[in-house]
Copies of this chain bind each other. A is one copy, B any other.
């Protein structure tokens, strides 16, 4: 078996998932921006013998959305493995998170909770690091003894509710969100892990804005994806 085929089968199952007709159609019809989720990061380079054709077809398909992520220098070495994060990739991953939140809200309005849940599940599989192990997720509105959502099930319940194991979860992503703005106080890039802290402003369909203090850590994993491995969100402190 060739190493290219092997690579496709082993390393990028999530890319295949995203090509499933249902998901792709949903994305194409409604929110083209969600394409960004299908390959959030600049592609790793596996082009020892294919320098002329560095750009996988799947990336070309993703189109202009990747303009902001493109970081390829003018001159490449003959073959480079890129396992470090760039600031542009971090900013793109943050933006993709906001777009996914809005997409889940819109899917909910268009198709109901089941469809929103399916999309949220895909987002969690692709944009979070639950495939690696526990994610350090402290959502904005959770309470003890279920404050921390280190498993995918816990995160999914928070975003779309409807899980009897998490009875207090109303479905944070179902609140009619329309846009997300992110203002970083600072960013740190530590090799293949990057951390950010700042404010995130989420606007709903009535124009109401919710501001949270949010800290993320992103990890560039072996498949070239950039995944959220830490996510601590909290409402701003207000003096009593």
Contacts and interface: CB of A to CB of B under 8 A. Distances in A.
Contacts of A215: 136, 138, 215, 230, 232
27 contacts: A3-B130, A11-B131, A48-B133, A48-B134, A48-B150, A48-B186, A49-B151, A73-B88, A79-B134, A80-B87, A80-B187, A81-B186, A81-B188, A81-B229, A83-B189, A86-B86, A134-B186, A138-B213, A150-B186, A150-B197, A190-B190, A191-B191, A195-B229, A197-B230, A217-B217, A230-B230, A234-B237
A218 B135 CA distance: 16
Contact of A84 (B10, B77, B85, B130): B85
A78 interface: yes
Nearest to A140: B237
A192 interface: yes
Contact of A191 (B13, B45, B183, B192): B192
A162 B174 CA distance: 44
Interface string A176-207: 00000001111111111101111100000000
Interface in A61-90: 71, 73, 76-88
